[in-house]
């Protein structure tokens, strides 16, 4: 009987350790997601401030900055009103298509937020759609994920005040430079 009782303790200990291990990995995953989301919000705020800086400057003003987005940021774009990005956003990002409007918007993955974050800007904004790409379309993301990392996407942003009320933003992905 003592042998069976010892086995119950061993099996109970292993089950308890497994439960704690799963809980720890779940907690770390949640912390990682929240950190990525907070970085996305900070990046969005910085870009919004850079747009405002360009907007309030003279025609011909230019500025270049780099940003790094996590895979939780689906898209950054401009729009005529507060609206979700187009359904084919991935193709628009790949094609380097332009968006236009007076709202500066960012869409997180639906897991993080359903509605886009949009802020009205005093200038018209012409900008390249940019954001994260699905792993099946981006080799770097796939390799990063395979090795246990979180994919990031680095863009160079060029802000140009093209007319008295228009700012153009050209986003170029670092892999494309």
The torsion defined by the Cα of 69, 74, 75 and 81, in degrees rounded to 10, comes to -130
Task: Order the strands of the 62-70 sheet from edge to edge.
Answer: 62-70, 152-163, 166-173, 117-128, 98-108, 73-79
Classify 136 as helix, strand or coil.
Answer: helix
Average pLDDT score over the chain = 83
Average pLDDT over residues 32-55: 86
* Domain layout of the chain by residue ranges: 42-176
Burial class (CB in 10 A: 0-12, 13-18, 19+), 53: middle
Is the pLDDT at 149 greater than 80? The verdict is no
Q: What's the pTM value of the predicted model, to 2 decimals?
A: 0.77
Highest mean pLDDT among 34-48, 96-110, 131-145: 96-110
Assigned token pair, 161: 């005040």
Is the pLDDT at 175 greater than 80? The verdict is no
Taking only the tens place, the pLDDT of each residue in 74-124 is 999 999 998 888 888 889 999 999 999 999 999 988 766 788 999 999 999
Among 13, 41, 51, smallest CA distance to 108 is for 41
Classify 30 as helix, strand or coil.
Answer: helix
Which DSSP letter does residue 48 get? H
Average pLDDT over residues 19-43: 69
């Amino acid at each position: 009987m003592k042998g069976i009782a010892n086995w119950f303790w061993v099996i109970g200990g292993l089950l308890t350790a497994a439960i704690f291990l799963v809980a720890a990995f779940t907690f770390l995953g949640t912390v990682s997601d929240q950190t990525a989301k907070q970085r996305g919000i900070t990046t969005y705020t910085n870009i919004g401030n850079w747009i405002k800086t360009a907007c309030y400057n003279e025609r011909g003003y230019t500025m270049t900055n780099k940003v790094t987005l996590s895979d939780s940021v689906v898209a950054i774009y401009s729009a005529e009103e507060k609206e979700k990005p187009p359904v084919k956003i991935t193709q628009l990002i790949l094609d380097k298509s332009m968006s236009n409007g007076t709202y500066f918007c960012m869409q997180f993955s639906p897991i993080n937020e359903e509605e886009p974050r949009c802020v009205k800007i005093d200038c018209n904004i012409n900008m390249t759609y940019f954001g994260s790409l699905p792993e099946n379309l981006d080799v770097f993301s796939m390799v990063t994920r395979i090795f246990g990392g979180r994919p990031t996407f680095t863009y160079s942003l060029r802000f140009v005040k093209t007319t008295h009320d228009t700012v153009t933003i050209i986003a170029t992905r670092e892999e494309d430079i």
